Amino acid sequence: MSGISNSNSNTATQPKGPVVLLVDDQAIVGQAIKRMLADEPDIQFHFCQNPFESIEMATNLKPTVILQDLVMPEVDGLTLVKFFRSHSATRETPLIVLSSTEDPKTKAEAFGLGANDYLVKLPDRIELIARIRYHSRAYLNLLERNEMFTKLSLSEQRMTHEMETGAKYVASLIPPPIQEPFQIDWRFVPSAELGGDSLGYFPLDEDRFAVFLLDVTGHGLASALLGVTVSNVLRARALPNVDFANPSQVLSALNNTFKMEEQDGRTFTMWYGVFEPKTRRLVWCAGGHPSALLFKPGQTAPVELESLNPGVGMFEWDDFEQKEIIVPENARIFIYSDGVFEIDKQDGVMWTFREFMQFMSQPEDSEQNAMDRLIKHVRMLKGGDVLDDDFSIMDLKL
């Protein structure tokens, strides 16, 4: 290899300005090109007289432009173009071929193999510098875009990993399905961005059992963290001077504890109920949350267990209304977040709540759980497995 350079730089980092590598078997051509670029201090010039060493030299130098002769005794110039384009280090590097003739057929072959430009040597100095700068600028912009895309991709991968980890953590906090004193099963399908859904249940004493499901506004780890925090507060009964068998007191205390202005503007909807298996009495209170659906034996139309209270944390509200009902034996209650029915269908129209209730009113399928059937249906409506919001639902068989 013969080296002629007006720069001592041989760095492998991304160049800041034009870096030219000339591949030509004639030293006189190398000297001529060097003189043409001598008054351009920002242009680094490197010369390779041995074409067999040009790939290695280009890999180390990372040129922004390769000037390559087409007529060399040791290797066919068009073959070398092919080699440059097949190598990962030079696949996208701008390549200007130099030829002694203005031959259309040779031009076509060179461009067909991936050359970016064609000059008859020796070219005019002004034109040569202009083309070097043009191709270098485009290539450096490409490198910058590629770097940005790589960083964005890595950031998205990290975010996806964090979301997946967060979703697994939220799901790990949900207690397993139970069979006694009555049956509770659930499904939790987090959205890609992870919403703030959380659910749970726990015994208050020998006679009463608490059940809740909440949905924090917004998406992301912050919303999920708030949902987990509220769930932990409930499970630990960490609200002082609150009777957890009184749903109204529970929501009032949560409303005073998790004020919107102290949670970066986040609030949450919630359905909280207490069931007494011996008396069949269910007391519940909901804040801005969809109505639970009670299906009585032998009836297809559900009873909506609603409460017309505001969302929790939105503003001062001490009078959360609670309601109660006697639940007949073999009844069934579905408690859920709005992510199970607010589905943007493929035709751009949202699935209605009435359509959701009609779907849930269908006769039980002995081969498929009602919640699994619902998941399958909303994914079909959406046209994909990934939903826009967390899908959370509990099935209480009483």
| pLDDT, tens digit, 9 for 90 and up, residues 277-334 | 999 999 999 999 999 999 999 888 999 998 889 999 999 988 899 999 999 999 999 9
Q: Are 80 and 51 in contact (CB under 8 A)?
A: yes
Report d(CA 212, CA 202) in Å as an integer. Answer: 9
pLDDT value at position 144? 86
Query: What's the mean pLDDT when you consider all of the chain?
Result: 89
- What are the structural domains of the chain? 19-146 (3.40.50.2300), 174-397 (3.60.40.10)
Query: What mean pLDDT is predicted for residues 117-125?
Result: 90
pLDDT value at position 14? 65
Cα dist from 355 to 38, 271, 289, 375, 388, whole Å: 76, 21, 18, 14, 19
Handedness of CA 21, 24, 25, 31 (dihedral sign): negative
Q: Is the pLDDT of residue 5 over 60?
A: no
Query: What mean pLDDT is predicted for residues 241-267?
Result: 94
Handedness of CA 364, 365, 367, 372 (dihedral sign): negative
Tokens for 53, please give them: 């060493």
Q: Is the pLDDT of residue 63 over 50?
A: yes
Q: Is the pLDDT of residue 6 over 60?
A: no
Report d(CA 296, CA 331) in Å as an integer. Answer: 5
Higher pLDDT, 248 or 171: 248
Q: Is the pLDDT of residue 392 over 50?
A: yes
Q: What angle separates helix 27-37 from helix 125-173, to the nearest 10 degrees?
A: 80
Q: Is the pLDDT of residue 11 over 70?
A: no
| Percent of the chain whose predicted confidence (pLDDT) is above 70 | 93
Report d(CA 242, CA 272) in Å as an integer. Answer: 14
pLDDT value at position 223? 87
Report d(CA 372, CA 377) in Å as an integer. Answer: 9
Q: Is the pLDDT of residue 250 over 60?
A: yes
Residue ranges with strand state E in 241-359: 268-276, 281-287, 292-295, 303-305, 323-326, 332-336
| pLDDT, tens digit, 9 for 90 and up, residues 125-142 | 999 999 999 999 999 988
Task: Give the other-Cβ count within 10 Å of 134's Cβ.
Answer: 15
Q: Which of 212, 336, 210, 207 is nearest to 280 (CA)?
A: 207
| pLDDT, tens digit, 9 for 90 and up, residues 80-106 | 999 999 998 999 999 999 988 888 898
Q: Is the pLDDT of residue 3 over 70?
A: no
Q: Are 106 and 99 in contact (CB under 8 A)?
A: yes
Q: Which of 338, 343, 377, 348 is nearest to 360 (CA)?
A: 377
Residue type, 389: D
